[in-house]
Structure 1
Amino acid sequence: MTFRQFAFNNVMRNKRLYIAYFLSSMFTVMVFFTFAIFAFHPTFSEGDINNNALFGMAAAGGIIYVFSFFFVLYSMSSFLQSRKKEFGLLMMLGASNKQIRLMVFLENIIIGFFATVGGILSGLLFAKAILLVAENVLIISESLDFYLPTLAIVVTFVSFIVLFFCISIFVSFILRTNKLTDLIKGDKKSKGEPKASIILSVFAALLLISGYSTATLVEGIYVVYAMIPVILVVTLGTYLLFTQLSVYVIRRLKNNTSIFWRKTNMLMFSDLSFRMKDNARTFFMVAIISTVAFSAIGSLYGFGSYLTKGIKEASPYPITYSPFLDDSKAMIEEDTNRINSILQEENIDAQMESMELTYFELGERNVLITRASDYNRFAAFIGGKELHPDENEAIVVEESGAIIQEGPKASEVLMEANVRLENGEEIQATSVVESFVLSAMNGYYVVNDQVFEQLGTPERLDYSAVWKTEEGQTDQLIEAGSKISNLDGNLQHKTFIIDYTIYEINKAYGPILFIGLFIGIVFFVSAGSFLYFRLFTDLDEEKRKFQAIAKIGLTQSELTKIVNGQIAILFFSPIVVALVHGAVALTALSSLFNYNLTVESSLVLGSFSLIQVVYFLIVRFVYVKQVKRMVF
């Protein structure tokens, strides 16, 4: 048997240890290959469509490639850590340090080659389905037909073979073998009772509490100012949580006899503090990576929802026309006739309402003041609430969910001022109403019709026309918006069609969401793989431990309960922390945009939680089966 055959057989006979590394590496190759299929698709390369998607996928491919390097490097370090005894046996049989490095190099090359080939084949297998999904998410008119992605195959194969080759050289170069006795007995040495500092444990709790409090209490633009300090504080608090606070809490539980001596808790807690301490850095890494995935996908999904739903809420009219200030009445009439003509061409059933907007001087600025009858006419057009102010009062109206702004709100400014009549009398504002009936960034007044006639000559006149359409005409409205946007002149800048605007936003934002989702999934899968590596690295030691305990009466049901408890704590501790981090981050995002993201946050975090539960059930089944096979 040659040395290359020895390295190959060593990989094949350690499938359990290598399978997670192989599958995770293959998954990253498949995702990279998927992006390459998009990037080199003839639909993109032969035209100028969706350049944002092309650039985003190229950037995403670079991010995945760089992340893959560190992921594979970490995976190799986990393997090497678990194979100390194997290296010791090889040295006893006469293997030199150079031969051990060569063996590690060849093993990684073998795994890297098959992971690359497997990732490309998997990508080809699912390419058509992914192209169909992308075609709808990216919202392009052209069809993303399946093709033989020769260039994508070459780029992916060469890129990852180079990646695995560089990592193999790097790992074999830095590999250092300890003394023979340390290698043979390394896993049997006593580590001593894990210790945790009370001061650092309290400090960890204070850091997390202060970070969470700051993130949830700040509002508006101040969320951006607090973001970097909060990230630093929470990151440090997370590290101390796993290295200090978790160990301290476990020690306190062990000192509580009512808990420690209850049924099989002694066996579970006795080893848990050691494993928490040993895996602290892994848990920290998993928590941070998962938080990035949760926050990124939640932010992208939430921001997309904010854009589309915000437009629908802020614009209750399907079509709005707002002319320029210097447009003549003839120009306004011509524009509205052209809009109506296009609506008729698309067979859109629409009703039109119009209003002259009057602005009066109030202090150093002009403020919109409108008749109650005009306001109620527009309100009735969309089923809104009517307003009926008395002759001696004015009602302040501001848009619901005002956009992020510094300084006082529009309603606060208008409530402190009064409406001045032509005869010098003043009408006081009595209440504030939130509404989208009329669009005015700085708010406006609604007054009684008789009072309006006493305001005098307005400082500025404006005009607004709106159309109400029947349900189920989305495609026609998108086509009408496309025609208006392609017209000569400035009509496209004066006309706002909700369905067409949302279509254009989704078309531009779809690639970002699509790419962010893929990158987030890569991060999340990698984080789960880290947990798998750490869990199965200690499997042989766990087998020996439970085999010894079984000799004094441990039953299968008790073993299953203990192992399930330990795996659940180790598997979900970093993920639960990441979910809390992600929930706080998305809450802060809600405060930033003054938009409720509860539904979006719950959907994203709930989906990842469900995936993690399924992953846990699979890993638990395999792990318990392995332990039982050795013990009973």
Structure 2
Amino acid sequence: MTFRQFAFNNVIRNKRLYAAYFLSSLFTVMVFFTFSIFAYHPALRGTGMHSSVTKGMNISAGIIYVFSFFFILYSMSSFLQSRKREFGLLMIQGMSMKQIRLMVFLENMLIGFFATLGGILLGVVFAKGILLLAENVLIIESRLPFYFPTKAILSTFVSFIVLFFFISLFVTYVLRSKKLIELIKGNKMSKGEPKANIFLTLLAVLLLGIGYTTALLAKGMMIVVVMIPVIIVVIVGTYLLFTQLSVYIIRKLKKKESIFWFKTNMLLFSDLAFRMKDNARTFFMVSIVSTVAFSAIGTLFGFQTVLTSNIKNVQATTFSYKAYEPENEKQNVEFINKTLQEEKIKADSEHTVMSYYEIANDKILITKESDFNRFASLIGEKQIDVKDGQVIVVEFEGTNFGQTTELLDETVKLDTGVILKPKEDEVIYSRALPATDSYYIVSDHDYDELPKPIEKQSFYAWQVKSGKEKIMGVSEKIYDHIERHEFTSVDYEIYEIMKFYGPILFVGLFIGVVFFVSAGSFLYFRLYMDLDEDKQKFSSIAKMGLTVKELKKVLTRQTAILFFAPIIVALIHGAVALTALSNLFEFNIFKESVMVLGVFLIIQIIYFFIVRFFYTKQIQAVI
């Protein structure tokens, strides 16, 4: 058997440990290759929107590549830790450290080579499906036909072979400092049960409390100012949470006999306390990486909601027209009605003249009850009753910059000398009129008594009842004839936003998924590094009377803590981050936050049950 064959057989023998590393690397290569397919796609060459898609994919591929380096480096470090004893035995049998480094180098290059080929092959197999998905998500008008991505294959292959080569060199260099006695004892060399420093334990609670409180209480642009300090404080607090606070809690629980001596809790807590120092680093890394994934995807979905909702809040009707140029008003309205008629689109319409008055050195809309009710009825909102002498403040449903409070402090003066004072308990929310700020409603009688307005604007609105499938085509025809700042089609405006935002969302989703898969792989590595030790331990305990049912219970708890402790911390971090984002935009994205965090939690639960099943099966096999 040659030395190369020996290295190859080593990989085959350790296929269980290498499986997660290989599959995660394969997935990373496939994602990088996917971005390369878009970057080199003939249909996306050129300028404008297609150019921005290509640039986005190239930047994303770069982010994935850099992250892959650190991910694979961490993975290899885990394997070296788990194989210390094996290296020591090989040295006793006459293998030099130089040969061991060469063996590790060959093994890593072998795995890297097949992971790269496998990732490219899977990418080619699923390329057509990914391109079809991209046509819808990216909202690209032209089709993205399948093509054989020669350039993408070459760039991906070369990039990852080079990456695996340098990582292989690095990890072999790390082996230099290992002594024979350290290698022989391997993982049996106890680092001792870690002890919690009371000062650092309190500091962990204090830092996380300060970080959370600052993030949740900051408003508006102050969130941007405190963002970097809060991130640093929370990261340090998270590290201390796992290295100090968790140790402190476990030691306290161990001292409570009613808990520690209850059934199989002794096995659970003893094992946790012994391994906490090593697990703490993994927990910290997984929680931070997962938080990045949660926050990135949650932010992207939240920002998408903010953009589209603001348009819907300002323009509640399907089409609207503001006559900024009165001389063209009549012919433009006739053109809109004629186009709707030609396309056989049925729509209800209303018209009003919006009057603006100077109040507190600002231009404020004041409308009358009858006009407001006509437009409220058009969009299906409840009509209101405004009595003479009464003034109602309508608050804008979108981002509020405090104008409602200002209007409540002001008054409306009629020509007759009567002063109308708004009441705080009479503020309403409505999308009936296209106002980007709060405004007043008065009775028809009081409206006639108002002084001359400083500005008037003619406004038309159409609410489509049938023929909605033709809205996009009709919108394009009207936009070709009327200026965009005058005519608005809500569906078309949202389409235009998503056309620009689609690539960002697509890219962010892929990167977030890569981060989350990598975090899951870290947990897998940590669990399976201790498999041989667990086999030996539970085999010995089984001889003392541990039943299969009790074994499963202990393993389930042990695996659950490993999988969910960092994820729960990450979910809390993500929830705070997304709440701060809501405060920044002054827009509620609770629904989007719950959806994103919930999906990731469900994926983690499924992953936990799969890993627990195979892990328990491995332990049971030796009992």
TM-score (norm 1): 0.95
Alpha carbons 1:359, 1:460 under 8 Å: kept = yes
**C-alpha displacement at 1:139, in angstroms?**
1.3
**C-alpha displacement at 1:421, in angstroms?**
2.0
- 1:447 paired to 2:439: no
**C-alpha displacement at 1:46, in angstroms?**
6.3
Using the alignment, how far apart are the partners of 1:168 and 1:345 within structure 2? 69
- 1:533 paired to 2:525: yes
- 1:381 paired to 2:378: yes
Alignment match of 2:476 (pick from 464, 482, 491)? 482
CA gap 1:389/1:48 in 2 versus in 1, 3 angstroms: closer
What secondary structure, in the 3-state scheme, does the structure 1 residue paired with 2:534 have?
helix
CA gap 1:205/1:420 in 2 versus in 1, 3 angstroms: same
Q: What per-residue deviation string (whole Å, max 9, x for no partner) do you get for residues 434-464 of structure 1? A: 2221233342221222222222322221121
Moved more, 369-378 or 23-32: 369-378
In structure 2, the partner of 1:573 is: 565
In structure 2, the partner of 1:563 is: 555
After the TM superposition, which parts of structure 1 deviate over 6 Å for at least 4 consecutive aligned residues?
A: none
**C-alpha displacement at 1:177, in angstroms?**
4.1
Q: What per-residue deviation string (whole Å, max 9, x for no partner) do you get for residues 184-226 of structure 1? A: 1132233323201122112212222232233233333333333
Moved more, 354-363 or 83-92: 354-363
Q: What per-residue deviation string (whole Å, max 9, x for no partner) do you get for residues 485-517 of structure 1? A: 334xx6222111111111111211111111111
Opposite residue 554 of structure 1, the aligned amino acid is L
**C-alpha displacement at 1:471, in angstroms?**
4.9
Opposite residue 531 of structure 2, the aligned amino acid is L
Using the alignment, how far apart are the partners of 1:27 and 1:190 within structure 2? 35
Using the alignment, how far apart are the partners of 2:68 and 2:251 within structure 1? 37
Alignment match of 1:437 (pick from 409, 420, 432)? 432
Alpha carbons 1:346, 1:479 under 8 Å: kept = no
In structure 1, the partner of 2:461 is: 466
Superposed counterparts of 1:372-411, under 5 Å: 372-403=369-400, 405=401, 409-411=402-404
- 1:219 paired to 2:215: no
Using the alignment, how far apart are the partners of 1:167 and 1:115 within structure 2? 14
**C-alpha displacement at 1:56, in angstroms?**
1.2
Moved more, 357-366 or 490-499: 357-366
In structure 2, the partner of 1:427 is: 420
Using the alignment, how far apart are the partners of 1:212 and 1:197 within structure 2? 23
**C-alpha displacement at 1:472, in angstroms?**
5.4
Root-mean-square deviation (CA, aligned residues, Å) is: 1.8
Moved more, 578-587 or 416-425: 416-425
In structure 2, the partner of 1:592 is: 584
**C-alpha displacement at 1:89, in angstroms?**
1.1
Opposite residue 407 of structure 2, the aligned amino acid is L
Using the alignment, how far apart are the partners of 2:277 and 2:36 within structure 1? 41
Q: What per-residue deviation string (whole Å, max 9, x for no partner) do you get for residues 557-582 of structure 1? A: 22221111111111111111111111
In structure 2, the partner of 1:44 is: 44
CA gap 1:471/1:209 in 2 versus in 1, 3 angstroms: farther
Alpha carbons 1:97, 1:177 under 8 Å: kept = no
In structure 2, the partner of 1:125 is: 125
In structure 1, the partner of 2:354 is: 357
Alpha carbons 1:276, 1:570 under 8 Å: kept = no
- 1:413 paired to 2:406: yes
- 1:583 paired to 2:575: yes
Using the alignment, how far apart are the partners of 1:604 and 1:54 within structure 2? 26
In structure 2, the partner of 1:244 is: 244
CA gap 1:259/1:472 in 2 versus in 1, 3 angstroms: farther
Moved more, 388-397 or 349-358: 388-397
Opposite residue 441 of structure 2, the aligned amino acid is V
Alpha carbons 1:33, 1:156 under 8 Å: kept = yes
What secondary structure, in the 3-state scheme, does the structure 1 residue paired with 2:76 have?
helix
Using the alignment, how far apart are the partners of 1:64 and 1:208 within structure 2? 29
Alpha carbons 2:294, 2:574 under 8 Å: kept = yes
In structure 2, the partner of 1:335 is: 332
Q: What per-residue deviation string (whole Å, max 9, x for no partner) do you get for residues 155-207 of structure 1? A: 11111111111111222233324221221113223332320112211221222
Alpha carbons 1:347, 1:476 under 8 Å: kept = no
In structure 1, the partner of 2:21 is: 21
Alpha carbons 1:376, 1:387 under 8 Å: kept = yes
In structure 1, the partner of 2:200 is: 200
Moved more, 35-44 or 423-432: 423-432
- 1:92 paired to 2:92: yes
**C-alpha displacement at 1:6, in angstroms?**
1.4
Moved more, 70-79 or 342-351: 342-351
In structure 2, the partner of 1:173 is: 173
Using the alignment, how far apart are the partners of 1:217 and 1:545 within structure 2? 49
CA gap 1:274/1:471 in 2 versus in 1, 3 angstroms: farther
**Structure 1 stretches of 5 or more lacking a match?**
none
**C-alpha displacement at 1:384, in angstroms?**
2.1
Opposite residue 366 of structure 2, the aligned amino acid is I
Alpha carbons 2:349, 2:378 under 8 Å: kept = no
In structure 2, the partner of 1:163 is: 163
Using the alignment, how far apart are the partners of 1:191 and 1:415 within structure 2? 67
- 1:253 paired to 2:287: no
Alpha carbons 1:399, 1:439 under 8 Å: kept = no
CA gap 1:342/1:54 in 2 versus in 1, 3 angstroms: farther
Superposed counterparts of 1:42-121, under 5 Å: 42-45=42-45, 49-121=49-121
Using the alignment, how far apart are the partners of 1:447 and 1:527 within structure 2? 59
Alpha carbons 2:316, 2:431 under 8 Å: kept = yes
Q: What per-residue deviation string (whole Å, max 9, x for no partner) do you get for residues 122-172 of structure 1? A: 111111111111111111222222221111111111111111111112222
Alpha carbons 2:83, 2:186 under 8 Å: kept = no
What secondary structure, in the 3-state scheme, does the structure 1 residue paired with 2:351 have?
strand
Moved more, 513-522 or 380-389: 380-389
**C-alpha displacement at 1:28, in angstroms?**
0.3
Moved more, 112-121 or 460-469: 460-469
**C-alpha displacement at 1:375, in angstroms?**
1.7
Using the alignment, how far apart are the partners of 1:401 and 1:48 within structure 2? 31
- 1:549 paired to 2:541: yes
Moved more, 163-172 or 212-221: 212-221
Opposite residue 480 of structure 2, the aligned amino acid is N
Moved more, 544-553 or 53-62: 544-553
In structure 2, the partner of 1:607 is: 599
Opposite residue 437 of structure 1, the aligned amino acid is A
**C-alpha displacement at 1:401, in angstroms?**
3.5
Moved more, 122-131 or 374-383: 374-383
- 1:278 paired to 2:271: no
Using the alignment, how far apart are the partners of 1:309 and 1:530 within structure 2? 38
CA gap 1:42/1:606 in 2 versus in 1, 3 angstroms: same
In structure 2, the partner of 1:520 is: 512
Using the alignment, how far apart are the partners of 1:22 and 1:283 within structure 2? 22
Using the alignment, how far apart are the partners of 2:398 and 2:479 within structure 1? 29
Using the alignment, how far apart are the partners of 2:53 and 2:355 within structure 1? 44
CA gap 1:158/1:286 in 2 versus in 1, 3 angstroms: same
Identity %: 57
Opposite residue 470 of structure 2, the aligned amino acid is Q
**C-alpha displacement at 1:364, in angstroms?**
2.1
**C-alpha displacement at 1:391, in angstroms?**
2.2
**Structure 2 stretches of 5 or more lacking a match?**
none
What secondary structure, in the 3-state scheme, does the structure 2 residue paired with 1:116 have?
helix
Opposite residue 83 of structure 2, the aligned amino acid is R
Q: What per-residue deviation string (whole Å, max 9, x for no partner) do you get for residues 61-119 of structure 1? A: 11001100111111111111111111111211222222111111111110100000000
